[in-house]
């Protein structure tokens, strides 16, 4: 969308920068029309951030930031120019030029939802600081969260009734119940025009967007005897103003600290973040208990130089860290993992051990790629089946990295760690954007890789047959000792012999028992064959496998005839007619 210069100037004129900045900075008047405060774009102890009322502009003498209202909005929220202008226009009640009347209707609807959510936050906050909220305040204090921190994050309390916020918003604030439903604060009952509160008897954490508008809530149970049947957390649903995959909890508060120090600590839960902030660790953002998305990581581009993942010290936390890897590669952000002790989450850790212990862990944070690969290597990377599982995960990760150069960089790193050739890994992990097909359902399809596109060792029929045996159970019946008589004398023969022996004695094969370190060349052949079957072999496995054996047998016979012909020529040249006759009979027989 392109705005006229006149419209942009009108928005700037009608935006009082002092009033706008007060949402983010504590300002004090000094002189005629000048206001000073601590810069929101870097950490400082002495105020160097100045706003000139007469010019409606700002300048920081510490970090050099400066500009007008639109620039301030862009810097403080991380939004682009268009979104910043739109938000400021809405703040000043200036209609945004639209070409479609439906756009204005949607914008008006969003403004109503934001007003409802803002009033709800005020309602929850007042209830928390009433006499009824004392138990909740004690609970928060026991967790190291002071009243100042509660106010900083706008924490509130939902009363233990079915229609508290409903009655407040519909009766006192005169909002339509159906619109309150659209805001995600109530649910519809069975009877017509019957609604009830979503959040009841819960500590309420407001979620804000880049301009600090409340767009959603997270509600947590509390107290010594919470309902065992109730979920610990309830979150607002997706609405016209809230998409959880596009927001990070706490980013407005953390942004200046992240910009100053360069590091953003990424945690999962609301209370992880609030507890860390209360303890003095300020550059923290949270995914609100849901899986991390690329959109959330992208919010930190231009704000953070490095992201440190601080997830729970258990298997779930490890999985969450691994899932983050492709997102960090795409965003080109340095990323590390803070390994918390088992049974600890960020909240419990900082309360038990303090901020110094946390920063010690931060100093020792492990590179995310090393962490990811370490988890891969733990999947029995020394066995064929283990490397098969690694291949699957590598493919999944590469499918989430659209840039070919970044994709190849990851392949090269993995290949080096697995001690296999990058060419082999490239051939085995080609996914969409490199010839693969996207069927429209969001799932990558492996591309059709012709045998001649694979490294020469994997063009052999012998390797293809091993692939079928490994991946198609119905081919096991073909593992007979006789095939060893015509099997080519290449690097695959020890594998074929091992499979024949396994099937003869145990009626099955166990590739995982073949240790890769015994013969690196042989292991590459097996691994490549396994990948080849997954990449280009057709599903008519049994007939194709039989045809492969026939070709191997024919090739062996042809090789034998060629050897006889050569021997006959040598005998004839030596004048040994008796040997020539003997060899001729053997060749024909």
Would you list the domain boundaries of the chain? 5-91, 101-242, 252-373, 403-553, 554-588
Q: What is the pLDDT of residue 431?
A: 36
Strands 284-286 and 263-267 turn out to be parallel
Does domain 252-373 bear CATH number 3.40.1360.10?
yes
The mean pLDDT of 203-213, rounded to a whole number, is: 92
Q: What is the pLDDT of residue 437?
A: 37
Q: How confident is the model at residue 533 (pLDDT cuts 50, 70, 90)?
A: very low
Alpha-carbon distance 257 to 44, whole Å?
Answer: 10
Q: What are the pLDDT digits (tens) for 472-481?
A: 666 676 777 7
Asked if pLDDT for residue 404 goes beyond 50, the answer is yes
Alpha-carbon distance 336 to 270, whole Å?
Answer: 21
Which uninterrupted H or E stretch holds 219? strand 214-220
Q: What is the pLDDT of residue 115?
A: 96
Q: What is the pLDDT of residue 156?
A: 97
- pLDDT averaged over every residue in the chain: 79
Residue % of the chain over a pLDDT of 70: 72
Between the alpha carbon of residue 330 and those of residues 248, 322, 496, the distances in Å are: 18, 14, 42
Q: What is the pLDDT of residue 548?
A: 62
Q: What are the pLDDT digits (tens) for 434-472?
A: 333 333 333 333 333 333 333 333 345 666 677 666 666
Which uninterrupted H or E stretch holds 400? none
- Residue that wins the pLDDT comparison between 495 and 185: 185
The mean pLDDT of 329-353, rounded to a whole number, is: 89
Domain 101-242 superfamily per CATH = DNA primase, catalytic core, N-terminal domain (3.90.980.10)
Is the model's pTM score more than 0.75?
no
Q: What is the pLDDT of residue 75?
A: 85
Q: What is the pLDDT of residue 449?
A: 34
Q: Please check whether residue 281 is in contact with residue 350, taking contact to mean a CB–CB distance below 8 angstroms.
A: yes
Q: What is the pLDDT of residue 230?
A: 84
Residues 6+ apart with CB under 8 A from 534: 391, 428, 446, 467, 471
Q: How confident is the model at residue 249 (pLDDT cuts 50, 70, 90)?
A: very high
Q: What are the pLDDT digits (tens) for 117-161?
A: 999 999 999 999 999 999 999 999 999 999 999 999 999 999 999
Q: What is the pLDDT of residue 560?
A: 52
Q: What is the pLDDT of residue 536?
A: 35
Asked if pLDDT for residue 305 goes beyond 50, the answer is yes
Q: What are the pLDDT digits (tens) for 27-72?
A: 998 877 789 999 888 777 889 999 998 889 999 988 888 999 999 9
Asked if pLDDT for residue 307 goes beyond 50, the answer is yes
Which uninterrupted H or E stretch holds 156? strand 156-158
Q: How confident is the model at residue 511 (pLDDT cuts 50, 70, 90)?
A: low
From the DSSP assignment, how many helices (H) and strands (E) are in the chain?
A: 24, 18
| Structural fold of domain 5-91 | DNA Primase; Chain A (3.90.580)
């Amino acid at each position: 969308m392109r705005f006229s210069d006149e419209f942009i100037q009108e928005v700037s004129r009608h935006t009082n920068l002092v009033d706008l900045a007060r949402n983010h900075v504590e300002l004090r008047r000094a002189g005629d029309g000048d206001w000073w405060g601590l810069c929101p774009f870097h950490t400082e102890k002495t105020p160097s951030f100045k706003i000139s009322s007469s010019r409606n502009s700002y300048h920081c003498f510490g970090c050099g930031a400066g500009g007008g209202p639109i620039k301030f909005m862009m810097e403080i929220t991380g939004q682009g120019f268009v979104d910043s202008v739109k938000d400021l226009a809405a703040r000043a009640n200036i209609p945004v030029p639209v070409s479609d009347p439906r756009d204005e209707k949607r914008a008006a609807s969003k403004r109503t939802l934001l007003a409802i959510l803002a009033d709800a936050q005020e309602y929850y906050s007042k209830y928390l600081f009433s006499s009824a909220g004392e138990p909740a305040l004690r609970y928060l204090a026991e967790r190291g969260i002071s009243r100042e921190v509660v106010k900083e994050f706008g924490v509130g309390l939902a009363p233990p009734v079915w229609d508290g916020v409903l009655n407040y918003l519909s009766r006192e604030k005169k909002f339509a119940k159906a619109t309150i439903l659209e805001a995600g604060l109530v649910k519809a009952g069975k009877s017509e025009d019957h609604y009830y509160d979503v959040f009841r008897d819960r500590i309420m954490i407001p979620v804000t967007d880049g301009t600090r508008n409340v767009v959603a809530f997270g509600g947590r149970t509390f107290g010594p005897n919470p309902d065992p049947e109730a979920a610990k957390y309830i979150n607002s649903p997706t609405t016209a103003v809230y998409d959880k995959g596009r927001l990070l909890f706490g980013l407005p508060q953390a942004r200046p600290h992240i910009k100053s120090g360069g590091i953003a600590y990424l945690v999962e839960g609301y209370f992880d973040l609030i507890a860390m902030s209360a303890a003095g660790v300020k550059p923290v953002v949270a995914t609100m208990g849901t899986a991390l998305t690329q959109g959330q990581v992208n919010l930190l581009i231009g704000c953070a130089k490095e992201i440190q993942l601080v997830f729970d010290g258990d298997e779930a936390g490890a999985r969450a860290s691994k899932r983050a890897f492709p997102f960090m590669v795409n965003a080109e952000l340095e990323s590390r993992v803070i390994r918390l002790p088992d049974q600890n989450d960020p909240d419990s850790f900082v309360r038990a051990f303090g901020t110094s212990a946390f920063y010690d862990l931060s100093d020792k944070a492990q590179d995310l790629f090393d962490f990811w690969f370490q988890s891969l290597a733990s999947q029995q990377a020394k066995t064929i089946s283990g490397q098969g599982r690694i291949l699957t995960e590598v493919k999944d990760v590469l499918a989430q990295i659209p840039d070919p150069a970044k994709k190849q960089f990851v392949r090269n790193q993995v290949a080096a760690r697995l001690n296999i050739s990058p060419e082999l890994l490239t051939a085995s992990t080609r996914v969409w954007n490199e010839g693969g097909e996207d069927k429209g359902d969001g799932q990558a399809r492996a591309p059709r890789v012709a045998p001649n596109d694979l490294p020469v060792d994997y063009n052999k029929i012998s390797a293809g047959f091993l692939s079928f045996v490994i991946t198609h159970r119905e081919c096991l019946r073909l593992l007979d000792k006789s095939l060893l008589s015509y099997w080519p004398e290449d690097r695959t023969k020890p594998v074929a012999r091992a499979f024949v022996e396994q099937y003869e004695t145990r009626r099955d094969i166990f590739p995982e028992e073949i240790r890769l370190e015994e013969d690196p060349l042989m292991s590459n052949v097996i691994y490549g064959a396994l990948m080849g079957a997954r990449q280009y072999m057709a599903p008519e496995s049994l007939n194709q496998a039989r045809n492969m054996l026939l070709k191997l047998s024919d090739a062996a016979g042809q090789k034998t005839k060629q050897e006889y012909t050569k021997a006959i020529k040598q005998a004839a040249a030596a004048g040994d007619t008796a040997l020539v006759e003997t060899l001729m009979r053997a060749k024909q027989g």
